[in-house]
Amino acid sequence: MVTASDTESIQVEILPQRYLMPATAQKLLNAIYENGGITRIMIQGPNLPRSVPYGPAKGTPIEENRDLIIEVAGQAFELGVKLGRVRLELESEKYLPGLKAACERALPFTFQIKQGKFFHNRPTISDYAKYGDVEDKRILGLIDPKARKDKLAILSEEKVTIEDEER
């Protein structure tokens, strides 16, 4: 018998014990994508500034935060944050055990997986002001409405699309 929980999408948050280095973030995201069943995914963490934001060295470029290109699902994009949490929506609950196994393979330290509601289902006033009338409901809740710039990487089988006002 098929129940509603078998067919409904679920939202999951992965909270690693510490911030991930780009190599570990790439390993984790690739393991998650190999599991399959992902409707949408969002990574969060503190920004990686390009230059020193304050103090006597203000404006000096930070060399270690340059060229943080990672490859996920065969597509490369620039990592702009230290990965601190991953929120994703799965097609159904049957993908959850594979997700836990993928995290155990990719992360050498402890982590938590929480189920809950982390994304919008319908546009808010901020979404309407920022995007207008939204056709693709998958982008709802993926961009901070208070951010100075929009940054969204859409992974598809053809290419990576990065929407960014400053580029």
**Average pLDDT of the segment spanning 39-47:** 87
Of the listed ranges 59-63, 65-69, 143-147, the one predicted with least confidence:
143-147
> pLDDT tier at 167 (50, 70, 90 boundaries)?
very low
Whether 92 and 140 map to the same domain: the answer is: no
18 and 109 Cβ atoms separated by less than 8 Å: yes
Q: How many domains does the chain have?
A: 2
Residue 5 pLDDT greater than 60, yes or no: no
pLDDT at 3: 56
Same domain, 94 and 40: yes
d(CA 69, CA 64): 12
Residues 62 and 138 grouped into a single domain: no
How far apart are the two ends of the chain, measured CA to CA in Å? 51
Say whether both 31 and 67 belong to one domain.
yes
Q: What is the mean pLDDT of residues 70-95?
A: 88
Biggest distance spanned by C-alpha atoms of the chain: 66
Indicate the residue among 80, 96, 119 that finishes a domain: 119
Amino acid at 71: E
For the ranges 2-6, 102-106, 130-134, the lowest mean pLDDT is seen at 2-6
Residue 112 — very low, low, confident or very high, per pLDDT cuts 50/70/90? very high
How confident is the prediction for the chain on average, in pLDDT? Answer: 80
Q: Pick 68 or 29 by higher pLDDT.
A: 29
Same domain, 62 and 139: no
Query: How far is 87 from 79, CA to CA, in rounded Å?
Result: 16
pLDDT attached to residue 122: 79
Range of the domain at 136: 120-167
Q: Tell me the whole-structure pTM to 2 decimals.
A: 0.76
CATH number of the domain bearing residue 51: 3.30.70.260
For residues 109 and 125, state if they share a domain.
no
What Å distances lie between residue 107 and 2, 55, 76, 110, CA to CA?
Answer: 33, 35, 21, 7
Per-residue model confidence as pLDDT tens digits over 113-135: 999 998 877 777 777 777 777 77
- How would residue 103 be classed by pLDDT, with cut points 50, 70 and 90? very high
